[in-house]
């Protein structure tokens, strides 16, 4: 990976942890959710966490544009005509967050052309952090009282026997269920947010099929970490999932680790 001008993933860890800490402060005080135009929930924590991340990226890389979920929802989307841009989802899994669960994450990704090349995913309620840079590898660690622990390298596992699937808690559609059945998947882990990519990158699962639509900021950071750990994310036509698409909208995809026993058959994107 060529260097993005001024970007250092290590310098983004502290702001990501700060953003995550902010989400926990609001959760402890009691979460009140508003509804956006697309009927999805949004909280003060989403907006304040995003502000922390935007300030850090502006200080580190003032010339690289940032497409962030809440800014985009407000109609503030920068031009991304250059080589690099960032995708930010300050609180992926807001429904889980509002419901008192732990499957929500803070996400920052760097895009080079149409590919995610560096990503950070932090699950503040779980105290887990994942980082990856394509060509340099990926790692995970625990975070206790704001302190980052020892780093463990991440690598996807070779798929032996029936693949273990990881599926969305709240968006598992009939098309996804049909794909899982046809592909011979055995055990299934249900988890929310970008944690699905992290589980595959860590070798704890083999495949994540998603028939329904997502946004690029939902997937970019986790996808970068998965690719850095040796995995891949394919569209329904078998081509790699790309970024910088119209409206930053993702079609269905299949993210996976080792591929020896995995029939990456296409499925019909039901748009639900």
The tokens of 135 are what? Answer: 């060509």
Handedness of CA 50, 56, 57, 58 (dihedral sign): positive
In angstroms, the first-to-last Cα distance of the chain is 35
Name which of 74, 103, 96, 65 is nearest 243 in CA terms.
65
105 belongs to an annotated ligand binding site: no
Q: Which residue has the tokens 């039901």?
A: 270
218 belongs to an annotated ligand binding site: yes
94 belongs to an annotated ligand binding site: yes
Within 10 angstroms of residue 7's Cβ, the number of other Cβ atoms is: 17
46 belongs to an annotated ligand binding site: no
161 belongs to an annotated ligand binding site: no
Q: Which segments of the chain does DSSP mark as H helices, in order?
A: 9-29, 44-60, 69-73, 94-98, 174-182, 195-201, 216-228
Side-chain-facing half-sphere of 78: CA atoms under 13 Å: 17
Known binding residues are 69, 89, 91-94, 218
Known binding residues for substrate are 69, 91-94, 218
Known binding residues for Mg(2+) are 69, 89, 91-92, 218
């Amino acid at each position: 990976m060529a260097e993005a001008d001024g970007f250092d993933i290590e310098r983004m860890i502290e702001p990501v942890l700060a953003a995550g800490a902010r989400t926990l402060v609001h959760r402890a005080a009691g979460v009140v959710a508003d509804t956006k135009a697309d009927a999805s929930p949004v909280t003060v924590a989403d907006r304040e966490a995003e502000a922390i991340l935007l300030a850090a990226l502006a200080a580190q890389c003032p010339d690289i544009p940032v497409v962030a979920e809440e800014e985009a929802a407000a109609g503030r989307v920068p031009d991304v005509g250059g080589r690099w841009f960032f995708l930010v989802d300050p609180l992926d899994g807001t429904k889980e967050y509002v419901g008192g669960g732990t499957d929500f994450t803070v996400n920052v990704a760097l895009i080079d052309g149409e590919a995610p090349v560096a990503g950070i995913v932090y699950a503040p309620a779980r105290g887990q952090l994942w980082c990856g840079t394509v060509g340099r590898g990926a790692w995970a660690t625990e975070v206790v009282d704001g302190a980052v622990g020892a780093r463990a390298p991440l690598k996807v596992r070779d798929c032996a026997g029936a693949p273990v699937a990881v599926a969305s808690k709240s968006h598992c559609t009939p098309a996804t269920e049909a794909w899982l059945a046809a592909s011979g998947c055995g055990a299934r882990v249900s988890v929310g947010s970008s944690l699905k990519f992290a589980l595959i990158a860590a070798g704890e699962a083999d495949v994540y099929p998603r028939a329904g639509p997502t946004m690029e900021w939902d997937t970019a950071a986790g996808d970068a970490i998965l690719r850095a750990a040796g995995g891949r994310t394919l569209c329904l036509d078998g081509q790699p999932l790309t970024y910088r698409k119209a409206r930053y909208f993702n079609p269905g995809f299949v993210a996976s680790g080792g591929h020896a026993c995995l029939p990456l058959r296409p499925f019909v994107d039901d748009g639900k």
